[in-house]
Amino acid sequence: MAELNSLNPEQRKAAQTIEGPVLILAGAGTGKTNTVTHRVAYMVDQGISPENILAVTFTNKAAREMHQRVTKLIPHPPKREDGKPLKATVCTFHSLCVRILRRHIDKLGYKRNFVIYSESEQLGVVKKVLSAIAGKDVKADPRELHSLLSRIKNAGSSGVGKVFGSEEAFAMADHIRGRYDTALKAANAVDFDDLLVLTLRLFKEHPEALEECRARYQYVTVDEYQDTNAAQYELMYLLAKEHRNVCVVGDDDQSIYGWRGAEISNILDMEKDFPELEVIRLEQNYRSTRVILDAANAVIKNNPRRRPKKLWSAKRQGDFIGVQPFDDEEKEAEAIVGEIEFNRMTKRIPWKNHAILFRTNIQARPLETALRKAEVRYVLIGGQSFFDRREIRDFLAFMKVMVNPNDDASLLRIANVPARGLSDVTMERLLGASQERSSSVWQAMNNDLVIHEFQPRTRKSIEGFVELVEGFRMPLKGERLSLATWADGLMDSINYEAELKKGEKNPENAENRMRNLRELIHTMDDRGETLLPANRLVKFLDDITLDAEREEEKEEKSDAVTLITTHSCKGLEYPHVFLVGVEEGLLPHSRSAVEDTLDEERRLFYVAITRAMQTLTITYCLSRHKYGQLVPCQPSSFLKEIPEELCEDMIDSEPVGVDEGKGMFDAMRAMLE
CA dist., res. 630 & res. 610, Å (int): 32
- Considering only CA atoms, which of 287, 348, 367, 361 is closest in space to residue 559? 348
Q: Is 188 left (phi over 0), alpha (psi -120 to 50) or beta?
A: left
The DSSP annotation for 342-376 comes to HHHHHH---GGGEEEEESSGGGHHHHHHHHHHTT-
The DSSP output letter for 57 is: E
Cα separation, 237 vs 242, whole angstroms: 9
CA distances from 425 to 133, 409, 412, 430, 458 (A): 20, 16, 12, 9, 11
Could you write out the DSSP letters of every residue in 73-124? H-SS--B-TTSPBP--EEEEHHHHHHHHHHHHGGGGT--TT-EE--HHHHHH
Residue 575: in which H helix or E strand, if any? strand 574-579
Give DSSP secondary structure letters for 518-566.
HHHHTTTTSS-TTS-HHHHHHHHHHHHHH---HHHHHHHTSS-EEEEET
Q: Could you tell me how far CA 157 lies from the centroid of its own chain?
A: 24
Amino acid at 386: F
Q: Cα separations (Å) of 599 from 151, 255, 258, 590, 607?
A: 21, 10, 11, 13, 12
Q: Which run of H or E residues covers position 630?
A: strand 629-632
Per residue, the 3-state secondary structure of 387-444, as one string, reads HHCHHHHHHHHHHHHHHCCCCHHHHHHHCCCCCCCCCHHHHHHHHHHHHHCCCCHHHH
200 membership: H or E segment, kind and range: helix 192-205
The torsion angles phi and psi of 441, rounded to 5 degrees, stand at -65, -40
Distance (Å, whole) CA 188 – CA 237: 28
**Buried/exposed code over 618-646 (b: 16+ C-beta within 10 A; e: otherwise):** bbbbbebeeeeeeeebebbbbbebbeeeb
Burial class for 23, CB neighbours closer than 10 Å (0-12, 13-18, 19+): buried
| Measured distance CA(110)–CA(438) in Å, rounded | 16
- Write out the catalytic residue numbers: 32-33, 223-224, 254, 611
